A = this chain, B = another copy of it.
Amino acid sequence: MRLIGIDPGLRVTGFGVIEKHGPRLDYVASGCIRSDARHNLPERIATLFTGMRDIIATYAPETAAVEKVFVNVNPQSTLLLGQARGAAIAALTAAGLPVAEYTALQIKQAVVGHGKAAKEQVQHMVTCLLSLSGAPAADAADALACAICHAHAGLGAIGLGEQSQTGYRTRAGRLLVPGRRQ
């Protein structure tokens, strides 16, 4: 099962593609779609939409998860973020993908083990869980975390208690690797 996670934004939209083989998760690809702030809004939406379409065509995921965005204190920013998220979801549904939504809290809970984890902890856990040689950029890490959360939800295993059944355990947001001294 191949999953794509999306962390939507008008300036930067992060994406992360992983594969789930039973309890094991394999990294496939990750990165960002950036839109030029000097362009007008329809052009930026077009950049984001065609970028999404290209990524979906390239990596052919079977299911998608999009981070639920929080309402910003600045209403204008909320509106811009909403438009980016709408375009990203449109690209996914247009490709026939089922789209799940998770809050940042749910994603952190699933990946780090608690909802108040710092960005660095998310990056660290994503690096460990997918056996990456280096930490991905923050936007890509968030998108990969979203995909990991979706993989666990599909297993019916969200939350720290169930996570340990999927092959790894965490303590204070750090991965416990069996046999390695913590």
Residues of A whose CB lies within 8 Å of any CB of B are: 40-43, 45-46, 48-50, 53, 66, 69, 71-72, 75-76, 78-94, 98-101
Contacts and interface: CB of A to CB of B under 8 A. Distances in A.
Contacts of A66: 42
B86 A45 contact: yes
17 contacts: A41-B101, A42-B93, A42-B98, A42-B99, A46-B89, A46-B90, A46-B94, A48-B90, A49-B90, A53-B94, A78-B78, A82-B85, A83-B83, A83-B89, A86-B87, A86-B88, A90-B90
Q: Chain copies in the assembly?
A: 2
Residue in A43, A50, A83 with the greatest tally of chain B CB atoms within 10 Å: A83
A90 to B, nearest CB: 4
A89 B46 CA distance: 8
Given A42-B99, A79-B82, 17 more contacts: A42-B93, A42-B98, A42-B101, A46-B89, A48-B90, A49-B93, A49-B94, A72-B75, A75-B75, A75-B78, A80-B82, A82-B83, A82-B86, A83-B83, A83-B85, A83-B86, A87-B87
Nearest to A43: B93
Contacts of A85: 82-83, 86
A contacts with B: majority SS: helix
Contacts of A100: 42
Contact of A78 (B42, B46, B79): B79
A166 to B, nearest CB: 25
A57 to B, nearest CB: 13
Given A75-B71, A75-B75, A76-B71, A42 B92 contact: yes
